């Protein structure tokens, strides 16, 4: 790894740590705010699902822009806008209808995320290659987990003491710091293209990315479908279930939810670095199955009579196990996809990765919101079938994943 690549990697990692810290405290604050205002998992899930639609629809366009644009300038601009929208929400939320402002902020961040996700994911392959790419992805994942460790505890304490406004300001500051760090990145700029009408060219680029996956990326398409299926269950059971079960079923405060997220971040951080050695045959399948198996402690404790403290401990244990498995699986799977993708197509392919993980998310959030509301006193009937389904999916996909690891 050259000195310039090493420096750019450090800046990218630090920037992502700041950005993800800001995103984590923002998501925690919005989750607590909406649940306190409505008390309904379905309303909370509906807002999350609606906010995710722009990212899904705009992901192909975001990938095409990422392949054409100067990545450094694009990342700086997007993080400046993230900070601006968070600051505007901090000003408006106490004065206007709070739920409308919260929903508007989620939609705005979703639109920006459609462009930010593919450009960030296409940066590492532009800087690193080979085994260094796997180590780079592991470093980003590990640093993100460390940032997520501090965010829930600090964000929960800040929200409990001062409400949502100061959390939004803190989030805006994190995005602005990320933009400052990204100003110093050294990323090769794509070749300039002249004589093309921009919008038709972007549309054609988007179609080329989809045609590439259909023609030459059958294995990549299979990986994307598997990621979409996993995301359906994980985002529904965890993103909706964890704050709802902690706040509305167990009647615990924001600090307890933050504590569960912090413990999960420790697990993700501890294990992300162990993936740096690269994939081994059979490992991806076992990790995917482990995501489902990790839900069992929470499911069992919500099935039998138990106090809030014991059930909370089961939730924390399940979150730690899932975070470990998800972090390790994501690092290896993303590295495999990046290594198989030509650099000229990287932004579009990574946008398809983002779209695949997002496409099932709104459905999962809506379904699980209704399920948790309907089975409020019988949450085990939601958690245990989910654990079995994810474990079975990971086991059934063993042959396909092993072939990808061996190629």
List, for residues 131-173, the tens digit of each pLDDT value: 677 677 777 766 766 666 666 667 777 777 777 888 899 999 9
User: Which percentage of the chain shows pLDDT scores above 90?
Assistant: 8
| Among the ranges given (84-98, 135-149, 245-259, 286-300), the one the predictor scored with the smallest mean pLDDT | 135-149
Helices marked H in 93-251: 98-121, 123-127, 131-162, 164-182, 198-216, 218-234, 241-244
Please tell me the least confidently modeled range out of 189-203, 325-339, 354-368.
Answer: 189-203
Rg of the chain over all Cα atoms, to the nearest angstrom: 20
Residue 122: strand, helix, or coil: coil
The most confident of 234-238, 241-245, 329-333, 361-365, by mean pLDDT: 241-245
- What is the pLDDT averaged over residues 166-195? 82
Q: What is the length of the chain?
A: 407
323 Cα distance to chain centroid: 11
Neighbours of 322 (CB within 10 A): 26
Q: Name which residue leads in pLDDT, 137 or 101.
A: 101
147, 13 in Cβ contact below 8 A? no
Mean pLDDT of 23-40: 79
- Those residues with Cβ within 8 angstroms of residue 141's Cβ, 6 or more apart along the chain or in another chain: 268, 272, 275, 327, 330, 331
Q: 132: closest CA among 17, 270, 9, 14?
A: 9
Percent of the chain with pLDDT over 70: 81
Distances (CA, A) of 43 to 14, 36, 96, 250, 275: 35, 11, 19, 19, 37
Instruction: Dig out the tokens for 285 from the structure.
Output: 């399948």
Fold of the domain built from segment(s) 3-185+199-406: Growth Hormone; Chain: A; (1.20.1250)
How far apart are alpha carbons 391 and 291 in whole angstroms?
A: 7
- Average pLDDT score over residue span 71-97: 88
**Residue 94: DSSP 8-state:** T
* Interval 357-376: pLDDT, tens: 767 777 787 788 888 888 87
Cα–Cα separations (whole angstroms), residue 148 to 64, 135, 231: 30, 20, 19
Contact (CB, 8 A) for 340 and 282: no
pLDDT level of residue 238 (50, 70, 90 thresholds): confident
Report CA-CA distances (Å) from 154 to 158, 160, 168, 247. 6, 10, 13, 17
Tokens representing residue 345 in the block: 């197509």
- 276 pLDDT higher than 50: no
Q: Among 230, 378, 393, which residue's Cα sits nearest to residue 302? A: 378
């Amino acid at each position: 790894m050259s000195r310039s690549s090493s420096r750019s990697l450090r800046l990218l990692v630090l920037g992502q740590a700041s950005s993800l810290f800001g995103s984590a405290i923002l998501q925690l604050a919005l989750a607590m705010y909406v649940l306190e205002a409505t008390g309904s998992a379905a309303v909370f899930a509906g807002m999350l699902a609606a906010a995710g639609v722009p990212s899904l629809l705009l992901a192909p366009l975001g990938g095409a822009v990422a392949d054409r644009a100067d990545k450094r300038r694009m990342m700086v601009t997007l993080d400046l806008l993230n900070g601006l929208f968070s600051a505007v929400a901090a000003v408006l939320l106490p004065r206007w209808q709070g739920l409308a402002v919260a929903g508007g902020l989620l939609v705005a961040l979703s639109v920006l995320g459609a462009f930010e996700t593919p450009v960030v994911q296409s940066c590492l392959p532009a800087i690193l290659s080979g085994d260094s790419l796997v180590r780079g992805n592991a470093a980003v994942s590990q640093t993100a987990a460390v940032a997520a460790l501090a965010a829930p505890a600090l964000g929960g304490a800040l929200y409990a003491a001062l409400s949502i406004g100061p959390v939004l300001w803190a989030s805006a500051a994190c995005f602005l710091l990320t933009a400052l760090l990204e100003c110093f990145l050294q990323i090769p700029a794509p070749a300039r293209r002249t004589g093309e009408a921009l919008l038709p060219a972007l549309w054609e680029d988007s179609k080329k990315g989809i045609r590439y996956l259909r023609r030459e990326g059958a294995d990549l398409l299979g990986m994307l479908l598997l990621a979409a299926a996993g995301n359906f269950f994980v985002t529904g059971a965890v993103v909706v279930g964890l704050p709802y079960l902690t706040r509305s079923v167990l009647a615990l405060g924001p600090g307890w939810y933050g504590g569960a997220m912090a413990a999960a971040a420790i697990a993700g951080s501890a294990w992300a670095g162990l993936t740096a050695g690269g994939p081994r045959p059979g490992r991806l399948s076992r990790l995917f199955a482990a995501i489902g198996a990790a839900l069992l402690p929470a499911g069992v404790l919500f099935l039998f009579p138990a106090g809030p403290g014991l059930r909370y401990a089961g939730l924390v244990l399940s979150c730690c196990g899932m975070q470990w498995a998800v972090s390790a699986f994501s690092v290896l799977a993303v590295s495999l996809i990046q290594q198989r993708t030509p650099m000229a197509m990287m932004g579009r392919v990574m946008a398809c990765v983002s779209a695949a993980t997002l496409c099932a998310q709104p459905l999962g959030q809506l379904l699980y919101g209704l399920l948790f509301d309907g089975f409020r006193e019988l949450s085990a009937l939601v958690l245990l079938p989910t654990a079995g389904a994810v474990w079975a999916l990971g086991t059934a996909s063993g042959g396909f994943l092993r072939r990808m690891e061996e190629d």
